[in-house]
Structure 1
Amino acid sequence: MRPVDLSAFMEQLARMSGQAILPFFRTRLNVIDKASAQSGRFDPVTEADRAAETVIRRQIRATFPGHGILGEEFETENAGAEYLWVIDPIDGTRAFICGLPVWGTLIGLMRNGDPVMGVMHQPYTGELFFGDGRIAQLRGAQGSRDLRTRDCGGLAEAHLMTTDPRLFAEGDRPRYARVEAAAKMTRYGADCYAYAMLAAGHVDLVIESGLQPYDIVALIPIIEGAGGVVSDWEGGSAKNGGRILAAATPALHAAALALLREG
């Protein structure tokens, strides 16, 4: 199947999942905490998360029965397949619960273990960010436009985002703090939306930890397609999640990575 067909199918998945999600947004939700009592953290899931992933899985099974599926809310299917769909139905569930439109649906596609295509869809704003590692686009009511990251010139001019600095492990906080101290401006929150804004040229660095593959796989082809760089804190592949650094340019990535690697 040609890439254009997969791209169209991925966009279809995003639109269908958005139709499943929006009736729940800014309503009185039934929120379940998936975390154990011993963890001391809040890990929410809503009816909207499960409804969206159910729709996406059903459509993938019907169209590509030989493909695998890895999602946040249900068990992995056919993990060893050549093509593996990686799904986070609502990345930013806390924002969703609070009625803030800085969440999105992540749908990524891996082939032989490598991310090759991804979308981040924000159905409330009607924005769909697409990338295949070579190009990145914003598709919406106003049509499509190509995305390019910004060359901010260096760390001293960089706009940095992280979801919440309290999420870093104790040993990682000083490393992150060095980058924050060097950046021009820092904002917290936004989850996947921060990465989309990096691809669009408004944010220059995103630094996070504790990510799962479904939190990042879809975003890798978008960031790279827009000219950015994304890796783990050791400079390796980000596809397995963990501690993530995304940067607008290779030079900015190298500068931030050097601070993160310091003892």
Structure 2
Amino acid sequence: MLSAVENTAVRACLAGGRHLRERFGGEVDAEFSRHDVKAAADRASERRMLDVIRAAHPDHAVYAEESGDVSEGGDYQWVVDPLDGTNNFVSGLPSFATAAAVLDDDGPVVGCVYVPVSDDLYVARRGEGVRHDGASVAAAADVPTAKATVGFVVGHDVKLDGRLDDAAAMQAALADEAKRVVESWSPCVHWGALARGRLDGMVCFHPDDEEQHVGELFAAEAGAAVARPGDGLYVAATTGGLRDDLVAAVR
């Protein structure tokens, strides 16, 4: 059963992602607000992804970022992000992705991320690791904290409820410890980089479910060291020592 679910996740992410690649760099059709942007490309990608998922698994529950709850019931729930990195997409920056996570009663069991411009495909299944373009990968980089590159993720709720000062203080503290802190506008892209050891750590402050389900599955299956220190924080790193340093910095 999970092989079929994984296959559907891959096909859905490719369907949405290839459409995004065709539109990327063209005329921008988007609505901008103080803390967010919604593009027509989000909705178009989501339609293509949902067509694939609903045709293959009409009995599964599906939540999509743009449409909300599309269907309910069944043993599995899909969480679909049709355009992770919309700000990047409309700005002409190539760091964006499509993503799908499939959950059972114990959490995410299958996850897929497709980065259209670089043509990177990441797939994870609980207990079976992470694959990048078909090859098994691991979060195996081992660098000292002072030389580490770390992604920093801030969820939408943080931007809306007055906690941006807290996030800024955390980011500054991380910058004091690590070589570089990347403010991630496309978390799924960076979760893939962590899973293959190209990024050394990820720090998330009240992250959005659409990206976090995939991210936590990737981190677990790639062998990253993780921590949940409370107050909406989630930390993953390629080594336990780096994880501990990042937790200490943000706390």
Q: Tell me whether the two structures share a fold, i.e. TM-score over 0.5.
A: yes
TM range (shorter): 0.7 to 0.9
How does 1:205-224 map onto structure 2 within 5 Å? 205-224=201-220
SS of 2:164 mapped into structure 1: coil
Aligned match of 1:77: 70
Runs of 4+ more than 4 Å apart: 230-233
2:181 matches 1:186: yes
Q: How many angstroms apart in 2 are the aligned matches of 1:197 and 1:10?
A: 19
2:97 matches 1:104: yes
Query: Against the structure 1 CA distance between its residues 181 and 133, is the aligned structure 2 distance closer, same or farther, given a 3 Å change threshold?
Result: farther
Aligned match of 1:4: 3
Deviation string 1:201-243 (CA, Å, 9 cap, x unpaired) is 12111223342211211222222211114554429xxxxxx54
Aligned match of 2:165: 170
How does 1:84-233 map onto structure 2 within 5 Å? 84-112=77-105, 114-134=107-127, 135-139=129-133, 144-162=134-152, 169-189=164-184, 191-192=186-187, 193-230=189-226, 232-233=228-229
SS of 2:69 mapped into structure 1: coil
Contact 1:118 1:130 (C-alpha < 8 Å) held by counterparts: yes
Aligned match of 1:38: none
Task: Note the aligned Cα RMSD (angstroms).
Answer: 2.5
Aligned match of 1:46: 39
Deviation string 1:62-114 (CA, Å, 9 cap, x unpaired) is 21111111111012134454211111111100111111111111111111150
Structure 1 stretch displaced more, 66-75 or 226-235: 226-235
Q: How many residues of Structure 1 are paired with residues of Structure 2 in the alignment?
A: 244
Consecutive unaligned residues in structure 2, runs of 5 or more? none
Contact 2:17 2:97 (C-alpha < 8 Å) held by counterparts: no
Contact 2:141 2:198 (C-alpha < 8 Å) held by counterparts: no
Consecutive unaligned residues in structure 1, runs of 5 or more? 36-40, 236-241
In structure 2, what residue type is equivalent to 1:184? K
Query: Against the structure 1 CA distance between its residues 245 and 27, is the aligned structure 2 distance closer, same or farther, given a 3 Å change threshold?
Result: same
Q: Alignment identity in percent? A: 23
